[in-house]
Amino acid sequence: MIGYTTLGTNDLPRAAAFYDELFAVIGIKRMMDFGRGYAWGAGMDKPGFGVMIPFDGQAATVGNGVMVALAVDSQDKVKALHAKALALGGKDEGAPGPRGEGFYAAYFRDLDGNKLNAFCVG
């Protein structure tokens, strides 16, 4: 159902470098340049992820309760994304581990304070 998700940034070069390295862990590359933002994905027929300077020219802010969840296919990839995010300067919001029956996840914030989750089912 989700086509793509976009988060705001106040420092596009820094955010782009963060996501280039983070998504390389799971083989996802930058696929679009909008001038004021970028998008990553595995193809136009798959959900994508973008980071942009807000269109209205106001500062990007973090939405309280907003989180983007990144689906991966193994606990090792959950751990790798979480570790990479922290190595790149992101903040821990919940170490990798089981979160209920059959759900394994880790939580972190990017350099702008946006909350993300990496998870796998099974």
Token look-up 């983070």 returns 22
Q: At what angle do helices 75-87 and 12-24 cross, to 10 degrees?
A: 150
pTM for the model: 0.91
pLDDT tens figures, 9-52: 999 999 999 999 999 999 999 999 999 999 999 998 999 999 99
pLDDT value of residue 84: 98
C-alpha 48/C-alpha 34 separation (Å) is 14
Q: Where would I find the beta strands (DSSP E) of 14-90?
A: 29-33, 37-41, 48-52, 67-71
Domains of the chain, first to last: 4-55+67-121 (3.10.180.10)
pLDDT tens figures, 52-84: 999 999 999 999 889 999 999 999 999 999 999
pLDDT tens figures, 81-104: 999 999 999 999 999 999 989 999
List C-alpha distances in Å: 41 to 23, 30, 51, 89: 9, 7, 12, 22
Mean pLDDT in residue range 106-113: 97
Half-sphere exposure for 73 (CA within 13 Å, toward CB): 2
